[in-house]
């Protein structure tokens, strides 16, 4: 809870306007110079921004849980594991986006509408950029210490949007693994355990990766675009463990600290799967805990991600 966006756990109700919409509302000030790749916005009231974060978190978390819930074995082609890999990847990608937002960072593309609004407000305060503000993938981070939302364009010409995002996620997890050691809550042993798990996650994000933190994207690309790893017919050279990945497809429902991230030497797709499922499990644990801690009405999660999780469990019980 210490690392959540301050006040986010108290947001209750259902909302439809995300951070992009909040920027277009232009209800903020600009007290610092805007460049072609950065800006700083100061909201007069935090509540609308928190509701915007909540909207995006719910939307993306539902996409994550629904995607991973549809990882199913084909009775016709039991060796077919390509879509297990692809769906598990996207579920983790969505989950990582939602987790970053819970921690206060929104990583999203800013289009013409948002760029126009930031430029217009900056011009009013005398801080219009000397050259046009770039469109692209921005890291938007809110600081409660300064009451500022900082936006930085992060997508480099040599990196795709997914690779750029995973670098941001990797950097945040790397810092978080250190920060939890000095957190006041919990016992020293529990803090050490969480720190170790986060460090293991960070290590897997960088496993055999050509760029910082993007290994999951590398595996997804290899399966999705190059049909590698014997996941597609005729499954030539497929290792015996691959069809067994379906037996672990629901491990994202477990306590994330119970998932083994380290013992998968020579089984890259198993390492990939458990890393993805760990990220999804982190999100699941976070949203359920946050929903529980809302003291002023029904948490925003109960109108989205938690509602989906409850519905999924109900339907699973009916089929067993």
Q: Which residues touch 311 (CB under 8 Å, ≥6 apart)?
A: none
Output the tens digit of pLDDT for each of the chain's 320 residues: 679 999 999 999 999 999 999 999 999 999 999 999 999 999 999 999 999 999 999 999 999 999 999 999 999 999 999 999 999 999 999 999 999 999 999 999 999 999 999 999 999 999 999 999 999 899 999 999 999 999 999 865 455 889 899 999 999 999 999 998 887 666 788 889 999 999 999 999 999 866 689 999 999 999 999 999 999 999 999 999 999 999 999 999 999 999 999 999 899 999 999 999 999 999 999 999 999 999 988 999 999 999 999 998 887 777 76
185: helix, strand or coil: coil
The number of helix segments (H) and strand segments (E) in the chain equals 9, 4
For residue 26, give both structure tokens.
């232009």
Query: Burial of 237 by CB count in 10 Å (0-12 exposed, 13-18 middle, 19+ buried)?
Result: exposed
pLDDT score of 210: 61
pLDDT score of 184: 64
For residue 22, give both structure tokens.
């909040």
Task: Answer yes or no: are the C-beta atoms of 67 and 90 closer than 8 Å.
Answer: yes
pLDDT score of 181: 86
59: helix, strand or coil: helix
- Biggest alpha carbon–alpha carbon distance for the chain: 65
Query: Burial of 296 by CB count in 10 Å (0-12 exposed, 13-18 middle, 19+ buried)?
Result: exposed
pLDDT score of 116: 96
Q: How far apart are CA 203 and CA 200, in angstroms?
A: 5
Q: How far apart are CA 202 and CA 205, in angstroms?
A: 5
Q: How far apart are CA 278 and CA 272, in angstroms?
A: 10
pLDDT score of 142: 97
pLDDT score of 156: 54
Dump the DSSP string for 73-134: --SS-TT--HHHHHHHHHHHHHHHHHHHHHTTEEEEEE-HHHHHHHHHHHHHTT---SSPPP
Beta bridge partners of 151: 39, 140
């Amino acid at each position: 809870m210490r690392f959540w966006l301050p006040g986010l756990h108290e947001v209750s109700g259902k909302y439809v306007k995300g951070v992009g919409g909040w920027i277009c509302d232009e209800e903020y000030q600009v007290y610092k110079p805007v460049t072609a790749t950065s800006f700083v916005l100061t909201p007069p009231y935090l509540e609308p921004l928190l509701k915007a974060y909540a909207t995006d978190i719910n939307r993306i978390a539902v996409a994550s849980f629904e995607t991973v819930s549809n990882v199913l074995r084909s009775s016709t082609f039991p060796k077919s594991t390509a879509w297990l890999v692809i769906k598990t990847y996207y579920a983790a990608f969505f989950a990582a986006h939602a987790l970053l937002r819970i921690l206060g960072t929104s990583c999203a593309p800013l289009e013409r509408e948002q760029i126009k609004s930031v430029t217009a407000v900056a011009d009013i305060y005398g801080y219009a950029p000397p050259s046009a503000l770039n469109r692209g993938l921005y890291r938007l981070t809110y600081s409660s210490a300064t009451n500022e939302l900082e936006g930085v364009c992060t997508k480099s010409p040599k990196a795709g949007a997914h690779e750029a995002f995973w670098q941001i996620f990797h950097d945040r997890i790397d810092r978080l693994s250190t920060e939890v050691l000095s957190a006041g809550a919990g016992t020293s042993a529990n803090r050490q355990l969480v720190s170790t798990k986060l460090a293991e996650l960070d290590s897997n994000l960088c496993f055999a990766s050509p760029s910082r933190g993007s290994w999951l994207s590398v595996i997804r690309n290899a399966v999705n675009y190059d049909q590698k790893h014997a996941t597609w017919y005729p499954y030539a050279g497929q290792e015996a463990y691959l069809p067994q990945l379906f037996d672990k497809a629901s491990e994202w429902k477990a306590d994330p600290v119970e998932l083994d991230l380290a013992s998968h030497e020579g089984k890259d797709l198993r390492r990939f799967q458990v890393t993805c499922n760990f990220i999804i499990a982190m999100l699941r644990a976070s949203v359920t805990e946050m929903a529980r801690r809302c003291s002023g009405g029904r948490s925003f999660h109960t109108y989205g991600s938690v509602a989906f999780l409850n519905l999924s469990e109900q339907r699973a019980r009916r089929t067993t």
